[in-house]
Chain A
């Protein structure tokens, strides 16, 4: 697994940096990226696949806006250390859970649950409590104060446009 931005080729850095948002809806998105970067479509597709294999990008596609096509909440649990691995595995096994992290705190397991309806969300939260035998604290988003701009990878930005 790569550890730093410097482990990526200039093309990879541009793919990571330049297309995080506002990718135009075109029939041939990878060819469009290739044109912008002055490389071939095959180069782009090969690099995207390689970045996916390395785990540097999870996908090319949409990030859905919370609470527009479904409902979600952030849940926290305070789990005994001896149970944590097992509880985390149970939680992750739910398809409705899309992020699940251990954090250093009395509340040590934090995960996001997303569902297509309020009823299903409540059902899943209840199921998680049943199967893990731990209570959870549900903290749904009330307001979003952040304008999402993705990440800027400084190193890539400084190299300017990519030339082969």
Chain B
């Protein structure tokens, strides 16, 4: 189901790499020496933890390292997932054009699922209101010459979950977090069923 091509790029990780990823995927502890604290958990040393993290960064495992902002709380009240049906030979060029806008946070090509889903480019456009998002989209259409391209805007109405990706689902749960109530392992989830 997932992309076979991208699979070739998966890094070969050691047990220790996975343990470190698990320790940091939901953020550093907010203490003076966070890597020393993580090292204690992993029965390692601060130096070793930092060196391993540096290797993961060098290998391109980490896209961004820093303060992860939840945009919705920052005046970006509306976000529209804008999906486009772009001819295959134009999608890279137009995807990059759209991706350059500061209000755009994603520009991904994804497969069409015909007949029900004709769209092959996904972009995320943020604004202070829906009207703000629509105005940005109009500006993008005009500047990137997308007048003849079919598109639709999917506005989000509710956020059920937003958290860092979990790559370590086979391991025990990390320490409880503010949203921990919503988070269960796959096994616990198996106890939930839709009652129609």
Measured in the bound complex, the distance between the Cα atoms of B156 and A4 in whole Å is: 18
A21 close to chain B: CB less than 8 A: yes
Interface size range of chain B in the complex: 35 or more
A142 near B110 with CB under 8 A, answer yes
| Distance, CA A77 to CA B3, complexed state (A) | 19
Q: In the complex, are the beta carbons of B158 and A131 less than 8 A apart?
A: no
Contacts of B178 in A (CB 8 A): 52-53, 55
Cβ distance A60 to chain B, nearest Cβ, rounded Å: 5
Give A44's nearest chain B residue, CB to CB: B30
Interface residues in B147-174 (C-beta closer than 8 Å to A)? 152, 154-170, 173
Other A-B pairs, 18, CB within 8 Å; known A58-B162, A61-B164, A112-B165 = A16-B69, A19-B66, A20-B68, A27-B46, A30-B30, A59-B27, A62-B64, A64-B167, A65-B61, A66-B6, A67-B3, A68-B61, A69-B10, A92-B160, A111-B160, A142-B111, A148-B64, A150-B64
Select from chain B the residue with minimum beta-carbon distance to A145: B95
Within residues 38 to 76 of chain A, which ones have a CB less than 8 A from any CB in chain B?
41, 45, 48-49, 52-74, 76
Write the residues of chain A forming the contact surface with B, with a CB cutoff of 8 angstroms: 1-5, 15-16, 19-23, 25, 27-31, 41, 45, 48-49, 52-74, 76, 83, 86-105, 107, 110-112, 114-116, 118, 120-122, 124-125, 127, 131-134, 137-153
Contact check, A58 vs B6: say whether CB atoms are below 8 A apart: no
Taking beta carbons and an 8 Å cutoff, which residues of B are in contact with A? 1-3, 5-7, 9-11, 13, 18, 21, 24-28, 30-36, 46, 50, 53-54, 56-57, 59-71, 73-77, 81, 91-92, 95-96, 98-99, 102, 104-111, 113, 116-117, 121-122, 126, 152, 154-170, 173, 178, 182-186, 188-190, 192-196
CB nearest neighbor in A for B157: A102
Task: Check A22–B66 contact: CB distance below 8 A.
Answer: yes
Partner of A89, one of B11, B18, B67, B160: B160
A131 touches B2 (CB 8 A): no
